[in-house]
């Protein structure tokens, strides 16, 4: 508990923590408003087939696309900020059990990312749906079938991204390197899927961030018919990265 309390003091004393969280909500809710205001034009141009699979919940949760990057920055800084300032040596002198230090960082990042992620997703839904409805477009309510699960899934997805970022930060020990790797995992590799040989494209049926994000939709994605299984698989992959981070963090020199 003392280690956890110490990590909390360090995290809340960093200006970057609060700036990152403020950016998460300002940018996330701003994107929600823009996306919701665009639904009128999208609905007007939609075909009958498109309207059959219209998902107002998914439209109001599109902020996760950018939010995952901001949450990732926060998760990376939980670890790399101490390497950058040299404070990690002091931390490990005070708490020689390295696994305890990293476990405290992981636990703290998980709680902060989950609370912030759920708050953002609920805020995005509650702001987005009235804006969608005001344009004469079908909207959703939290009590509708599958809606609450989708909103909750958004927070869980962002928490998983935050933990992935912590693991990458511990493995790479540099903010720029960890962030570049995170961007590659979340954005670049899926975007370049079409460039891979046909015999390799099957892996994208199981790429964690693609399948996990499908859980944010109420209308099932035909490519991911079991999104919660995909989200669980994503969490399992993140756990694997964290295991590697613990092994490396315990054995490698601080500098």
Buried b (16+ CB within 10 A) or exposed e, 165-193: bbbbbbbbbbbeebbebbeebbeebeeee
Handedness of CA 184, 187, 188, 190 (dihedral sign): positive
pLDDT (tens digit, 9 = 90+) per residue, 48-102?
A: 888 888 999 999 999 999 999 999 999 999 999 888 887 888 888 888 788 899 9
pLDDT (tens digit, 9 = 90+) per residue, 187-215?
A: 888 777 777 777 666 666 667 787 888 89
User: Which residue range forms the structural domain that includes residue 33?
Assistant: 2-251
Q: How many CA atoms lie within 13 A of 188 on its CB side?
A: 7
pLDDT confidence band for 250 (50 / 70 / 90): confident
pTM for the structure as a whole: 0.92
pLDDT (tens digit, 9 = 90+) per residue, 25-63?
A: 999 999 999 999 988 888 888 888 888 889 999 999 999
Could you give the number of structural domains in the chain? 1
Tokens for 193, please give them: 């899927």
């Amino acid at each position: 508990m003392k280690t956890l309390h110490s990590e909390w003091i360090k995290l809340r004393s960093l200006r970057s923590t609060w700036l990152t969280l403020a950016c998460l909500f300002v940018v996330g809710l701003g994107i929600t408003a823009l996306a919701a205001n665009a639904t009128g034009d999208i609905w007007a141009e939609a075909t009958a087939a498109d309207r059959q699979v219209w998902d107002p919940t998914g439209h109001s949760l599109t902020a996760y696309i950018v939010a995952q990057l901001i949450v990732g920055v926060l998760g990376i800084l939980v670890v790399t900020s101490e390497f950058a300032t040299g404070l990690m040596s002091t931390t490990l002198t005070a708490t020689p059990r390295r696994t305890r230090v990293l476990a405290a960082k992981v636990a703290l990042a998980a709680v902060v990312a989950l609370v912030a992620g759920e708050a953002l997703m609920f805020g995005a839904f509650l702001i987005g749906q009235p804006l969608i409805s005001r344009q004469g477009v079908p909207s959703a309510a939290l009590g509708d079938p599958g809606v609450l699960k989708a909103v909750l899934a958004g927070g869980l997805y962002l928490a998983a991204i935050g933990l992935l970022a912590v693991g990458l930060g511990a493995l790479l020990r540099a903010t720029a390197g960890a962030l570049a790797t995170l961007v590659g995992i979340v954005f670049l590799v899926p975007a370049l899927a079409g460039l891979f040989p046909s015999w390799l494209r099957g892996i994208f049926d199981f790429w964690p961030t693609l399948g996990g994000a499908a859980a944010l939709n109420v209308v099932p994605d035909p490519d991911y018919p079991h999104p919660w299984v995909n989200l669980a698989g994503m969490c399992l992959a993140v756990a694997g990265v964290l295991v590697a981070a613990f092994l490396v963090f315990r054995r490698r020199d601080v500098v």
